[in-house]
Every structure is written in structure tokens, then in C-alpha cells.
Structure 1
Amino acid sequence: MLELGRTCRLVGISRVVETLESYCHGPNANRGRYLGKKELPADALYGINTVRALENFPLTGRTIAALPQFVPALVMIKEAAALANLEIGALSAQKAEAIVEACQEIRTGKYDVHLIVDALEGSGGTSSNMNLNEVIANLAARLAGKPAGDYTFVHPNDHVNLGQSTNDVIPTAIKLAVFRVSEGTSLALMQLAAAFSEKKIQHSQTLRLGRTCLQDAVPMLFGQTFGGYQAVLERHAKYVEQLRRQLLVVPLGGTAVGTGLNSRPGYKRAIFQHLSALICQEIKPAADPFDGMQNLDACARLSAEVRHSANSLWKIANDLMVLSSGPVAAVGEIALPAIQAGSSIMPGKVNPVVPIAVCQAAFAISGNDAAVAMACQQGLLEINCYGMLVCDRLIDFIILLQRSATILRERCVRSLTVDEERCQQNLLASTGLAAALVPEFGYANVAAIVRAAHDEHRSFLEIAIERGLLGQNDVHSLMRRAADVSRAE
């Protein structure tokens, strides 16, 4: 197929648009489509609306076909609409069957090369909607033995888009695409939580020095540390799953502003029935169709929760870097797997590359969530024109979160080890037991020992034993009692 971009460079895009306008809508509409002096090949399934979008929106270089699950969702809406219009008598069986057959062909991905509108086209989704409408109509014509560009059989607007508007179709496709992409998010978070649960059990009796504000605090167990990570990840997994279910409430059937203008009686009920069957999920109409048309707050809430989840991964990754730091001249209480060389100049150096990568992903997710929040807020009057940005960014960073959780689990957490001897050394050398002695000896007396240990460059335990606050044999049992949460329950 002669590439459209190459043809545009040869003859100029203004000539392309002018000539396509003439051939698609003028007296020669059914005789073929041409680009200047170059004939548009018969297997080019896009039309004038798509070409205009190519001229107007050369933004990201990513097409709508590159948005995971977006085109499949949009195609299923078109297929459900054809079935609904057939059911209510708005489409003949021949036209409806041709549209359905074309949709099923497109769902295989074979025609993605014709879905070439930029992912951030600035028309509120009209260009994306029409790109697909044109491809379906031309493919339906070809399947019926007619040339592409012959819209006498199936027309992009009159038949493929029957009962629809960009304003209800695109937000619905966005929600369904995000729903499908986010399907593995909760699972990825739960699998990471399970990896920490294994470490929790493995180190349920391993004492370590808890730290607050990066300073020595009190004794605790490494199992408690890992259990905290497990708990927050399970909570995020639950919230993500709850929020993604809200995306199954869609504004389909509202057409332009929510009134359902130009759709026929029975259409809305029928399209929801057929779409639910195609998606294998119960798709529900918005309780208030005008609210459904105007607002993308369900996307904003899911976006925020994905950011919260990424922030928790960020926090955990930072903790792993601190706990593994050194390993000789810093904390060094855990060892992360050495999966690659850490330096081109320092032999044997190993860096916490996976936690660093997870942090970078979290930075990106935070920025994308800000973009989604602004786009969702910016809806004006009856519709939100910025849905394609929401779709592009939200899908992108949902996948980023899933991959972050997966590599953190597979490439880091599973194989990390705890240096129990180092944990004990750090605990015994610290003032970690000071707080445990306060109830018996008073804050001022214990604080005096802490100051003496600092001034004399000696350990707190050494001076506490020397002054008779505790015996040598009491240290281990006192550390255990300090880490025992059951005492406070």
C-alpha cells in the first residue's frame, strides 16, 4: 500500500484534503479516491476525516491502534450498535451483517495499519470515531464486492455511526479500554504482597532496629516490616479492583449531550444488552445521562488510586535501598540480588537497580496522574473534550504500575536475604532499648545514660549494665518484649 505520509510529502497535504473532499463527497464519490495525482490504493480503508486529522494533529506519533484495548473496545461498541439497530429495525439485515463482519475482522488486529489518527487528536475523539467509522464502512464495502470509497452500501455516518455520537461512544470506549487494561493490576499487587508475606513468615523471629526519621528507634522484627509492606499492597489491590468496576457504568445512548437525540426507541436497551454480551461484563447506563456525558470522575479516582499504589511501591523501594545500603559502611541489614554490575569503574559494586527503576516509574506515574486530573477537571458544559488524553496517560501508567510490581517481586523481593548477624550488631550497638527501660527507671534517668553513651563513645547497653539497670542475661528477653505487639492488644 502506498503510504499516506509519503504521498502527502509528494503532493502537499492541502492538495490531499482538497482532492479527497472532492472524491469522497463530490460527484465522483463512488469512482475511487485520489491523493493529488496519486491514486489512493483500493486497500486504503480510511477517508477524508482521517486525512484531515493527520494534517491537524501530528502530535505524539502514536496512533489510536497503539493504545492497548482502545480500538477493540471501540469496535465492540460499533458491533453492538449494529446488532441493536438491526434488532429495532433501524438497519437492514444485509447492512448490519456487513458491519458486524467488518468489526469482527478489525478486532483481529489485521487492519490496525488503517487506524492512524494520533492518540491525542484534539477533537474530543471525533477523528478517532470517524477513522474507525470509515474503516468499517470501506471494509464492509470490500467484503460485499464493492470498492473502498463506495458508501452507497454502508455509510460511515448514516449506518456505522447510527444512533451514536462521538460524545457518548468515545467516553464509553475509554472506560472499557481502561477496565480491560487494569484487569491485571490487582493481581500484580497481590502477588507482590504474597512475596512479602513469605519473607514475613521466614523472618518472623528476626530482630532488627526500627528507625524513625532515619534515626535509631526501638527493637522490632523483620517480619513486622515485611508484614507492613504486605498490608498496604493488599489494601491498594482491593481499592483498585473496586474503582475499576465503576468504569462499567457508561454514557452510551446519550448521543450528543445526553438526550439520546437521533437514536430510535429501544436502541439504548438493545445496545447495552449486546455490548454486555460482547464484553462478557454487565455494562450499565449512567443513572443520570447528563452526568454520564459530562464527567470522567471515575477515571480520575482510579488514576489517583494507581498513583497511591505507585507511591507505596516508591516508599517500599526506598526502604529496600536504605536497608541494603553500604553494605559495609551503612545499614547493610538486607542484601538485594546482584542482577547486574553496578559500575563501569568500581569492581564488584552492586546497585539497587530494581528499586531505582520502581522509583522512576512512580515519578512518571505521579506526573501522568496530574495530567489525568487536569483533563478530567477541564470538561466544559455538556461533554469533556480531553478524554483521549485521559485514555492515553491512564492506560500507559496502569501498565507501568503492573510492570513495576512484577519486576520488584521477581527481580528483587523473592531473592533478597536478611543478614541476621548484622541486624543484631546494629541493634546491640544502638540506644534501641532505651525506651523499653523508661517505664521502670524514668525518662530522665534513661536519657542520662543515652547522653553518657554518646559522650563516652560507648554502647548504651554497656553503660546500662554497668549502672545496674539491667543484667547481661536480660538483654535478649528485653528486646523480644519490646518487639511484642501483643502486649498492647
Structure 2
Amino acid sequence: MDYRLETDLIGEKRVPRDAYYGIQSTRAYENFKITGLSLNGELIRAVCEVKKAAAISNRDAGVLDTNIANAIIEACDEIIEGKLHEQFIIDPIQGGAGTSINMNANEVIANRAIEILGEEKGDYSIVHPNDHVNNCQSTNDVIPTAGKIAIMRLLDKAIMSLKKLDLALKDKAIEFDGIIKMGRTQMQDAIPIRLGQEFKAYSCAIERDIERISKVRENLNRLNLGGTAIGTALNANKEYFKTVVSNLSEITGLNLRRADNLIDATQNLDIFVEVSGAIKTCAVNLSKISNDLRLMSSGPRTGFGEINLPPRQNGSSIMPGKVNPVIPEVMNQIAFNIIGNDLTITMAVEAGQLELNAFCPIIFYKLFESIETLTNGVETLVENCIKGITANKERCEALVNNSIGIITSICPYVGYKKATIIANKALETGETVKNIIINEKIMEPSKLQEILDPISMTEIG
């Protein structure tokens, strides 16, 4: 491999001649071999959108030569479109508050801009990563800004997936509305409920999640861009300061604005705890729904057997014919991971000190993972599970008829003490509550039929 020699304050280092990254990226690559993963593509895109907005503002303010600025803008556009992402070689988890991410972007953009201007990569006298690409910026306003933009876009995808789930659950609520089944509290027989009512309740929980996530997404649009190192805007040109956020808003197509207090927005990252909390809450709801699906589909002969989940794959390497609820199970595992990520994010935000929080890399790594895995999990939950669920109507009705839980509907007519005696007798003899009441002439059959009407037992009001 052919190399070029680059220098920094630490010394000299060889960099592959064809590489668009430079010496600082190379050092970071060697220092932070942590996860073995690449940076999130949305973060790369957002960082380059910030760099493009800065170049436009610096050009218009007369801070950057027009030719250099335009070359930087063109290089940014290429990366925004998806080119050169393989040149972003930094591990997502790293020390330095995201400086390695910022410098990786600065070097790739600078070297591509140098090429655009007809010169050789590595000649930073033409376009310099710091003096030109990073002009009027700091890692401390670039990286939080880019992270917020990336998260907004990832949340948009999550919301779209959750809306699909909400619709699928509503469809099942309508389909199953006429199916009576036994409700359970504390895993014991309670009183009847319609299967459609359960699925409607699931959709209500998802609607709240959509509302929570949408609301917190709106709070992400306040940026500290222009505040540079600690929010005091040191080294930021005044004209640049006035226009950079509006330029970024136009580039991204997002409604962005500068935070009211740039020092606060640089010091305090509580917004990311808020986002993580909304995602965690959604994951908890999804896991609870998945638990219910696993219980209601348990069997097929010795469990509840009230619903059938679509078979997706063989369930055992030793037990023929076994089919497991793999989609709800993966949703549970996604939730467990998101809950763990939320703790990491919480601790990282709490660990900020004085004028800066140095832990944006781990915050973004975990938050991106939470949002993307939740989105992907919801997609498979809808397509590979919810849409294909069928109900075992006869099984549901048989469980209701054989349960002593229906005694609750009769209690107001015969009194609690008498109802308890009937329930105990049903347990001891195996006789149904309905037959005991009829055989002992406790109530007229017509009246009993009226009381035990599925709609009257399950309808509010």
C-alpha cells in the first residue's frame, strides 16, 4: 500500500495515500477499537449537513474564499447522498466528546474538496480540515447538533412503524369484537371480556407512545450550533452566527432553531434522557403486549389456546411439530436491550461536568440503537405476527362457560355470600356455575341468560 505522511501536534504518521481520512482519524481508529462497528449513517449525513451549512454561512460572511467554500459544499453534498461513508472509520464509542467524529468528517470533506479543486489529497494548504471545514465551529456544537438531527429522522421512521402497528391492532379489534373470552387478573380467572376489547386497549397504549415520541421529537429542534466550545460563540463570525442555523434548517428540511441559552444547551443533555425515556416507555408497552400474545397463544393443547400466531419457523431441533412465538419473543428481547440502553444514556447525561458533557458518543450509540431496533422490531411484529393472528372462538367461549368468573355478574342478584357458595360448589364438583344455578332453581333461566349475555357482561354502560 502506498502512503502519504501527515503531521499533527503529536508527531508524524503514515496515512494510506488513497484515503480521504487523515492523521487524526487514523489515531482515533487505532485508539478506539471498541465495538468494531461503523458510525450510524444518519449521523454521518447530519454532520456533513452541518459542515455544508457552515461553509455556506462562512462564504456569505466573507470568512471563506468562494472557491474553497464551494468545493467544501460539493464534497458535503456527495457524502450526504451516501458517498464516501466507508471513509468514516471511527468507532461509535470513543473518548473526546466526539472530536474524533468531527475530525473524521473534517478530514474527509477537506480531502475531497482538495480533489475537486484539482489537487492531491493531503495538501492541506489548499483546504484545511480545521481552518476551513471546521471554521467557526467546535466539536461541542457540531456533534450535539448532528446527533439531534439524526435522532429526529430516526424517530420519524419509528413513528411511521408505530402508526402501522396501531392500525393493525385496530383492525384486529374490529375483527375480534364479537369473540367473548375470559378476562384474567393476577393470572386467575376474573370476568369476561371480548378479544376485540383487548386488542383495542393495545392500540390505545401505542397511540400514547406515538403522542409521547412525537412530542419529544419537537423538543429536539433547539440547537447549540454557533455556540462553539462552551456556548459563548468564541471564534464564530457574527454574520455566520446569524445565518448558520437557518441555512441548516433549509438544507435538512427540518424546522430547526437556535436554543435560547447556548451555554445551557452545551452543558445539559437532558433532552436525550427524555427521548430515551419515551422510547423505553414504548418498549415496555410493546413487551407487555408481546407477553399477552405469548400467553393467549400458549399450547396448542395444554395452554390458553385462545389465539393462533402465524407460524414463522420451526420451534425446536428435537421436538417435531413445535412452533414457538418467535416474533413476540424478539420484541421482548428488544425491550430488555432498550431498557438497559436507557440506564446507560441516563448515567452518561448525568456524568456531564461544568461546561460540557463529554459522553455524546455513548449517548448517541445507545440511543440510535434503541430507536432503530424498536423500529425494526415493530415492523416485524406487524408484518410477521399481528396481521396474521387468528382467534379460536370456540375455545374462548368454552373457557368462559367453564369458568367460575361469571359468578361476578350474578353476584348483584343473589348476594356475595350466596355467590361464594355457588363458586365453591362449582370448584368442588366441576359443574358449571350456570348449571348449578339452573338445577338449584336459584334464578329463572331466562333471567340468567339475560345476565350472562356476552355484550351486557362486557359493554360499559
TM-score scaled by length of structure 2? 0.95
With over 3 angstroms needed to count, the CA separation of the structure-2 counterparts of 1:469 and 1:387, relative to structure 1, is farther
Contact 1:68–1:395 (CA under 8 A) maintained in structure 2: no
Q: Give the whole-Å Cα distance in 2 for the aligned partners of 1:337 and 1:406.
A: 15
Q: 1:42 is matched by which residue type in structure 2?
A: R
Query: What is residue 7 of structure 2 aligned with on the other side?
Result: 21
Shift of 1:185: 1.0
Structure 2 distance, partners of 1:155, 1:120, is 26
What one-letter code is carried by the residue in structure 1 that aligns with 2:386? V
Q: Which of the numbers 434, 441, 444 marks the counterpart of 1:468?
A: 441
Say which of 11, 19, 34 aligns to 1:44: 19
Q: Secondary structure at the match of 2:356?
A: coil
Partner residue in 1 for 2:190: 217
- Does the alignment pair 1:68 with 2:41? yes
The Cα shift of 1:476 comes to: 4.6
Q: Is the 8 A contact 2:213 2:279 kept in 1?
A: yes
Within the alignment, does 1:239 sit opposite 2:212 as a pair? Answer: yes
1:250-284, Cα deviation, whole Å (9 max, x unpaired)? 11011010000001112122101110110011211
State the partner residue of 1:409. Answer: 382
Q: Report the equivalent of 1:29.
A: none
Note closer, same or farther for the CA distance 1:181–1:204 as it changes in structure 2 (3 Å cut): same
Q: Does 1:86 align with 2:52?
A: no
Q: Is the 8 A contact 2:306 2:396 kept in 1?
A: yes
Q: Is the 8 A contact 2:21 2:111 kept in 1?
A: yes
* Counterparts of 2:28 and 2:281, CA distance in 1: 36
1:164 to 129, 134, 137: 137
**Counterpart check, 1:55 vs 2:41:** no
Counterpart amino acid of residue 425 in structure 1: A
Whether the 8 Å contact between 1:47 and 1:131 is mirrored in structure 2 is yes
Matched residue, 2:420: 447
1:438 to 391, 411, 419: 411
Rounded Cα–Cα distance in structure 1 between residues aligned with 2:277 and 2:10: 45
Cα distance change on mapping 1:186 and 1:474 into 2, 3 Å: farther
Match of 2:171 in 1: 198
Q: Name the counterpart of 1:12.
A: none
- The structural deviation recorded for 1:425 is 0.5
Out of 58, 78, 86, the residue aligned to residue 105 of structure 1 is 78
List per-residue Cα deviations over 1:205-254 (Å, max 9, x = no partner). 21111110110000111111111011111111121111112111111011
Aligned counterparts of 1:100 and 1:59: Cα–Cα separation in 2: 32
Q: Match of 1:21, as an amino acid?
A: T
Give the drift of 1:320: 0.7
Q: Distance in 2 between matches of 1:356 and 1:55?
A: 38
Q: Size of the alignment, in residue pairs?
A: 460
What's the counterpart of residue 239 of structure 2? Answer: 266
C-alpha change, 1:469 and 1:379, in structure 2 (3 Å) is farther
CA–CA distance in 2 between the matches of 1:257 and 1:389? 20
Residue 218 of structure 1 aligns to which amino acid in structure 2?
I
Report the CA distance between 1:25 and its aligned residue. 9.3
**Structure 1 range deviating more: 418-427 or 334-343:** 334-343
Q: Which residue of 2 aligns with 1:327?
A: 300
Shift of the 262–34 alpha-carbon distance from structure 1 to 2, 3 Å rule, reads closer
Q: Assess if the C-alpha contact under 8 Å between 1:229 and 1:316 holds in 2.
A: yes
Alignment CA distance shift 1:364-1:214 (3 Å): same
1:123 corresponds to 2:96: yes
State whether residues 251 and 285 of structure 1, in contact with CA within 8 Å, keep that contact through their aligned partners in structure 2: yes
Matched position secondary structure for 1:226: helix
| 1:301 aligned onto 2:287 | no
Shift, 1:51, TM fit: 1.8
Q: Secondary structure at the match of 1:380?
A: coil
Counterparts of 2:457 and 2:168, CA distance in 1 = 23
Mapped contact 2:163–2:210 kept (Cα < 8 A):
yes
Alignment equivalent of 1:254, drawn from 213, 227, 238: 227
Q: Is the 8 A contact 2:141 2:224 kept in 1?
A: yes
Q: Which amino acid aligns with 2:111?
A: N
Aligned residue in 2 for 1:145:
118
Provide the C-alpha distance between the structure 2 equivalents of 1:170 and 1:363, rounded to a whole number of angstroms: 28
Partner of 1:483: 457
**Deviation for aligned residue 1:43:** 2.1
Secondary structure (helix, strand or coil) at the match of 1:219 reads strand
> How high is the TM-score relative to the length of structure 1?
0.90
CA deviations on 1:62-110 (whole Å, 9 max, x unpaired) are: 232xx13001000010000000011111112111111111111222332
Q: Is the CA contact 1:42–1:147 (under 8 Å) kept in the aligned structure 2?
A: no
Separation (CA, whole Å) in 1 of partners of 2:428 and 2:250: 75
Choose from 326, 341, 350 the match for 1:368: 341
1:240/1:305 contact within 8 Å kept: yes
Q: Report the alpha carbon displacement of residue 466 of structure 1 after superposing the two structures with TM.
A: 2.3
**How far 1:483 sits from its partner (Å)?**
2.9
Alignment gaps of 5+ in structure 2: none
Q: Is 2:192–2:458's contact at 8 Å kept on the other side of the alignment? A: no
Tell me which amino acid in the other structure corresponds to 1:192: L
* Partner Cα distance (1:268, 1:388) in 2: 25
Contact (CA 8 Å) 1:436, 1:482: kept in 2 or not?
Answer: no
Matches within 5 A, 1:258-407: 258-407=231-380
Whole-Å Cα distance in 1 between the matches of residues 44 and 215 of structure 2? Answer: 24
2:162 counterpart of 1:176: no
Task: Please give the alpha-carbon distance, in whole angstroms, between the structure 2 residues aligned to 1:209 and 1:469.
Answer: 24
Offset of 1:60 from its aligned partner? 1.1
Shift of 1:175: 0.7
RMSD of aligned residue pairs (Cα, Å): 1.9
Distance 1:336 1:94, change over 3 A: same
Instruction: Pick which of 73-82 and 330-339 moved more.
Output: 330-339
- Structure 1 runs not aligned, ≥5 long: 8-15, 27-32
1:458 aligns with 2:444: no
- Matched residue of 1:209: which SS? strand
Letter in structure 1 aligned against 2:416: Y
Alpha-carbon spacing, 1:472–1:328, altered in 2? closer, same or farther (3 Å): farther
Q: Partner letter of residue 116 of structure 1?
A: I
CA distance in 2, matches of 1:300, 1:381: 18
- Answer whether contact 1:221 1:483 (CA < 8 A) is retained: no
Secondary structure, aligned partner of 1:414 = helix
